[in-house]
Chains A and B, each alone.
Chain A
Amino acid sequence: MSEVEDRLRQRVTELLDDGTVDLFIGYAEADAPLKTAVHVVRSTTDADALVWDARCAANLAALLPDLFRRPENAGNEWAPPRVGILAKGCVSRSIVGLIKAHQIPRDALHVVGVGCRGVVDRHHAARLVAPAQLAEAEFLEGDRLRLRATDGTERDVDLADVLLEGCLVCRHPNAVLSDESIGDPVPTSDRPRFADVESFAERPIDERWAAFREEVSRCIRCYACREACPNCYCTECFAEETAPRWIGVTTEPSDLMLFHLGRAFHQAGRCVDCGACVSACPQGIDLRLLTRKVNRDVEALFGGEVGVSLDRPEPLQQFEMTDDEGFLTEP
């Protein structure tokens, strides 16, 4: 157990004991390689199962809106719970976004910030051992990761080589909003953030189209990307609306493209590039292909990062008279 984990379990026990929170959302061990489970701690005995390491891929903020939504059959005595949550940088930014979108109340939250050194991309690790399956993964000294495959082979890799790409360029590894912090702050990456977007944009148009279509055609419509995302809190998604029916429910390519374009667009000015959608996708679709582009444009055109301040409205909730008009068609 790491020092941070030790401290985390201790603090969660205290928070539950002193009544600061009714429940605490963190991560626990899972019996599958490179995975952790979302862990909702309601009693102090469950606090000992909390873990914190590079396998903690889920964006825990995704669980928040439902907790504060009044149940259909709730009586008058229903009160929103007081919720504690472990927040790495991206999770804290999602929390900021949710508060500003009036989806969760700030005063019912107790945010425990933690510095994050990035999470492992499970699909990347799977690719390294394909067509065998990953049997086991073990963290080694010196930021190395040992991958054991089901065919008996073993390889050690630099952790940095198997992290989610968003983590490699993350500017906010530490919580931007917290009631307390555990562990030491993690230094910020200074790698160029949108190199991937820029290199994709340089490819010829039909190549881009083919790549987009192929990527999205892998989709099986399980909506794991959507459900894993804190921004997707709509009670009815456009993908499931029936009047009008925006998209068919099948895996016909244009419907898949429409879903993913719609999803990406709905992320505009709200995506914190946590990579939870990428980790969640059973098909290993590079969902960041689209969200990163939107993120880049939002920053380039309108300035500022999303989810870093409670005071400033998000980019699409405001405008400037001088906003760019280069995209307009003039007769």
Chain B
Amino acid sequence: MDARMLDKADLATVLERLAQTRRLIAPVEDRTGAAFASVDEVAAIRLDYRNTSLSAKEIVFPQTEPLLVFRDGAAEERIPAAPGAVLFGVRPCDARSLTMLDAVFRGGETEDPYYAARRDELTVVALTCNEPGPTCFCTSVGGSPDDGSGADVLATDLDDGLLLRAITDRGEVLLGELDAGRPAEDGEIEAARDLAARAAERMENVPVPTDAAALLATFDSDLWSDLAAGCIGCGACTYACPTCHCFDITDEQKRGTGHRVRSWDACTFPPFTLHGSGHNPRPTATARLRQRVLHKFSYCPENFGEAFCVGCGRCVVHCPSGIDIRRILARLDAVLTANSEAGGPTR
């Protein structure tokens, strides 16, 4: 696969050219630090960011998206047209989360055509991490600072230059289109690997329980009410999370004209599972937090073969009560280890 070295001084010109034919989505400065935005002025792109406050999932799974539009009883589907978008400079954790969203929206018996339309047109350039963030733990959940899952091109900031490595055919096409820089030398690729390895070393190692069945066996444990003691039932964790994908579907109309629209929803909200009868299968904050954690670390491994957490640490940053998924995992792991040593069931 192609690997090219791009002089940083040329980056703006190259991206400007790219932006003429593609929709360019990249991190820009935001009051929360950095955020992804459709970029018209490439000067606004900030590759010196650590990570964005919210994830990149909005690009393939918008918070608000019309599914159908209708007038006077006649409905029409509204599949998005997203020709040739490039997500430039996303972190490897977010790129990896796309593979998980793929599994949900494209896997199984039915493909979600809205997600598919956006995803098919997206080329992902992931910016490898030279420095871990304060709440990062990707290496504990199967990722790494230069993980290529979900990405088409891996970019690495090597001070004066940007190393671009195509890792998929689509990435190859993009590098060809960029038509810039010079072929990278082996030493530069080596340097990029070293940077990522050093970043990985500096990252906290969180013990993550991987036995889906053993985790499920903690379901009735008192541990959960303890872990959820501070949970106030907002959706900050789920909405900031790159892999949380629950949604609602509602209709809005005015005089026969309107749309059926999907929007993000969260299992941490009390009405999420509320039946019309008033019965709620998850009536407490404890049940809801347990659902969120077990969904990621037990149910998803069961259904998709891997935990739905990429270790971005955003939920840790945003939880108003300071609930920390790393601590929850460590507690669960300790309990499971103790149980397996004692040879007894967790229940």
Contacts and interface: CB of A to CB of B under 8 A. Distances in A.
Contacts of B32: 123, 126, 130, 282-284
A150 B326 contact: no
Contacts of A135: 133-134
A226 B261 CA distance: 24
A38 B229 contact: yes
B166 interface: no
A132 B49 contact: yes
Contact of B320 (A72, A126, A228, A283): A228
A38 B321 contact: yes
Contacts of A289: none
Contact of A222 (B131, B229, B235): B235
Nearest to A132: B50
Interface string A2-33: 00000000000000000000000001101111
Contact of A282 (B46, B240, B321, B326): B240
Interface in A119-172: 123, 126-127, 129-136, 149-152
Contacts of B232: 62-63, 224, 227-228
A228 B236 CA distance: 11
A78 to B, nearest CB: 14
B322 A32 contact: yes
Given A132-B49, A248-B250, A249-B248, A222 B236 contact: yes
Interface residues of A, number: 55
By secondary structure, the B interface counts as loop
Interface string A250-276: 111000000000000000000000001
Nearest to A59: B320
Interface in A272-296: 276, 279-280, 282-284
Q: Which of B134, B229, B313 has the most CB of A within 10 A?
A: B134
B169 interface: no
Interface string B118-135: 000000000000010111
A42 B32 CA distance: 35
Contacts of B134: 32-33, 133-136, 150
B316 A130 contact: no
Given A126-B32, A132-B49, A150-B133, A30 B283 contact: no
Contacts of A221: 63, 235, 239, 263-264
Given A31-B326, A150-B134, A276 B34 contact: no
Contacts of A39: 230
A35 interface: yes
A283 B324 CA distance: 19
B234 A37 contact: no
B33 A126 contact: yes
B174 to A, nearest CB: 24
B221 to A, nearest CB: 15
Contacts of B266: 222
Contacts of A240: 269, 271
Contacts of B320: 58, 224, 227-228, 276, 279-280
A131 B250 contact: no
A223 B234 contact: yes
Contact of A220 (B31, B54, B131): B54
A62 B266 CA distance: 20
24 contacts: A27-B322, A30-B316, A32-B322, A37-B321, A39-B230, A58-B321, A62-B232, A123-B32, A129-B33, A131-B28, A131-B30, A131-B48, A133-B133, A133-B134, A150-B50, A224-B235, A224-B318, A240-B269, A248-B261, A250-B261, A280-B320, A282-B53, A282-B240, A283-B32
User: Which 8 pairs, one residue from A and one from B, show the smallest C-beta to C-beta distance?
Assistant: A37-B322, A38-B230, A133-B50, A280-B320, A131-B49, A227-B234, A150-B50, A40-B229
